[in-house]
Amino acid sequence: MTPDLLDLLRRVDTPTVCNAIEVVEGKRGFDRFTRGTVLSSDPGAGAIVGFARTAKIAAIAPPEEPPEVIKTRRMDYYRHMASGPRPALAVVEDLDGADAIGAFWGEINTSVHKGFGLAGALTNGVMRDLGDLPKGFPLIAGSIGPSHAFVHVLEIGTPATVFGLTIGDGELVHADRHGALVIPHDYVIELGAAITKMQGTEAIVLDAARATGFDFESFEAAWSAFEKART
C-alpha cells in the first residue's frame, strides 16, 4: 500500500473499486462485496480504506459469562483495535443480525476508535448519537437506534460477516455509503492502474453524453468505442 494508492482509494467510491478489480481480473464475476442496503453516518465523508480489525458482539440479552470475563474481553477488544497495521478500520459483526437493537457505535466508542487511529467502522449492527459523532470517522451500519441494550464483545480477531460479506482480520477493505468490498492482496499492485484505465474507458461515454448536440448517432459511436475498451 503506497501513499499514492491510498490517496487514490480514498478519493474514489466503492463501485469504482469494484469495477477496477474486474479490470485486474480481466472478466466480470468478482463477488467479495456486501449485499443489501447500508446506512452511512456521513454520506459525504468519502471512502474508508484500511486493514480490518475484526470482532463480534451481541446485545439483545445480557451476557451469560461472569462480569470479570466480559470486562477483560472488552479491554482485549480495545487492545486489538489499538494495534495492528495502519490504515485500519473496525469490522464488527452483530450476532443479533436483523434483530439488532444495541448501539455499540455512539459518541464515546467512535471517539475512542478514532483516537486509536482507525479510519472508520463497518458493522451490520446499530449506530446512534448521529449529531455528536466525531468528524472524520464514518460509520457504515445496518440500522439506527437509541439504546446500547446489553451490548458486549464475544469474539476478537475472528472473521466477521457483515451484509453477507465475510472479512478476515487484516484483510484490506474499501467501504463507503454503497457498501464494502475486500481487495485481494495480490491485486494491490495493479489496482491503481486499473482504476485509471477504467475511468478513462468510462469517459468515452460520459464525455459524449455531456457534450452539446448529443444524439443517438454520437451515442452509438461512443458506446462502440466503450465496448472495445472495457472489460
Task: Quick: pLDDT tens for 80-95.
Answer: 999 999 999 999 999 9
Domains defined along the chain, listed by start? 33-183 (3.50.30.40), 189-229 (no CATH)
Full-model pTM:
0.94
**β-strands 88-94, 121-123 pairing:** parallel
Task: Quick: pLDDT tens for 172-218.
Answer: 999 999 999 999 999 999 999 999 999 999 999 999 999 999 999 99
Mean pLDDT score, 153-168: 98
Tell me the DSSP string of 206-231.
HHHHHSTT--HHHHHHHHHHHHHH--
Residue 133 amino acid letter: L
Rg over alpha carbons for the chain, rounded to the nearest Å, is 20
pLDDT at res. 230: 76
Query: For residues 144 and 50, what is the distance between their CA atoms, to the nearest angstrom?
Result: 24
* Residue 23 DSSP SS3: helix
Query: For residues 110 and 118, what is the distance between their CA atoms, to the nearest angstrom?
Result: 9
Q: Is the confidence at residue 231, as pLDDT, over 80?
A: no
Average pLDDT of the residues of the chain: 96
Mean pLDDT score, 129-136: 96
Task: Quick: pLDDT tens for 21-58.
Answer: 999 999 999 999 999 999 999 999 999 999 999 999 99
Q: Which run of H or E residues covers position 105?
A: strand 103-105
pLDDT bracket for residue 17 (50, 70, 90): very high
